[in-house]
Amino acid sequence: MKMNIMAKTLAAAVLSFGSVAASTAQTLEKMTWYNEPAKWAVSDGALLMEVTPKSDYWRISHYGFTVDDAPFYYATYGGEFEAKVKITGDYQARFDQAGLMVRIDHENYIKAGIEYVGGKYNLSVVVTHTTSDWSVITLDKPVESVWIKAVRRRDAVEVFYSFDDKEYVMMRNAWLKDNTPVMVGMMGACPDGDGFNVRFDNFSVKHLPDVRRTEWLERNKE
């Protein structure tokens, strides 16, 4: 039932995209696609998309292949920040996934969210620097939605999850080159299936004052 409702919502939003885009917050409308999916829309401040079948992000390790062809809707940010989004997906097939991605280029990125494996929902983080690694926290039951938050400070990104947007738990602390602009946004991938629908709500990126500059100012008060 949820899948049908989301699919109908996406279809309606695609049909009315021209009028919707003019009335919603400018942040989503000014973002950029990498691997734009065939069906997507912005509706009521949310991004809805039908994730492209047989698409993913992965480099080399364990599986022996490299793919960089899944939908990613992003904006570019420098410096330190906190990014957050609520994710609701109709996961259907093995490895269906949706989440938040922080990306320098095709060899350096972090993606974090929900991944559907073996009939179970997993909180998943892939960290890629030339080759990819994958860590998961398997959930004991399905969840309707999850909030993912990424905090970039200095040369690291801390990744958190929440089920209520109140209490956040860290799931990964990963290195990422600092003083380098990054693409930040929402991604979905469907390596093994025929596509699925996902909704991203309340996407935000909040600027954080640079830690080192703040410390310098504190030491050099007039």
Predicted confidence at residue 4, as pLDDT, reads 59
**Whether pLDDT at 111 is above 60:** yes
**Whether pLDDT at 188 is above 50:** yes
Predicted confidence at residue 8, as pLDDT, reads 60
* Average pLDDT for 146-151: 98
pLDDT grade for 222, boundaries at 50, 70 and 90: confident
* Average pLDDT for 24-52: 89
* Average pLDDT for 49-75: 97
* Average pLDDT for 1-12: 59
Predicted confidence at residue 16, as pLDDT, reads 45
Predicted confidence at residue 23, as pLDDT, reads 33
**Whether pLDDT at 120 is above 90:** yes
* Average pLDDT for 103-122: 97
Q: Which of 1-5, 32-36, 101-105 has the lowest mean pLDDT?
A: 1-5
CB 135 within 8 A of CB 117: no
Closest-CA residue to 152 (of 161, 144, 160)? 160
Predicted confidence at residue 72, as pLDDT, reads 98
Q: What is the mean pLDDT of the chain?
A: 91
* Average pLDDT for 101-116: 98
pLDDT grade for 27, boundaries at 50, 70 and 90: confident
Domain residue limits, the chain: 2-219
**Whether pLDDT at 196 is above 80:** yes
Architecture, CATH, for domain 2-219:
Sandwich (2.60)
pTM: 0.88
**Whether pLDDT at 63 is above 70:** yes
Predicted confidence at residue 21, as pLDDT, reads 40
**Whether pLDDT at 68 is above 70:** yes
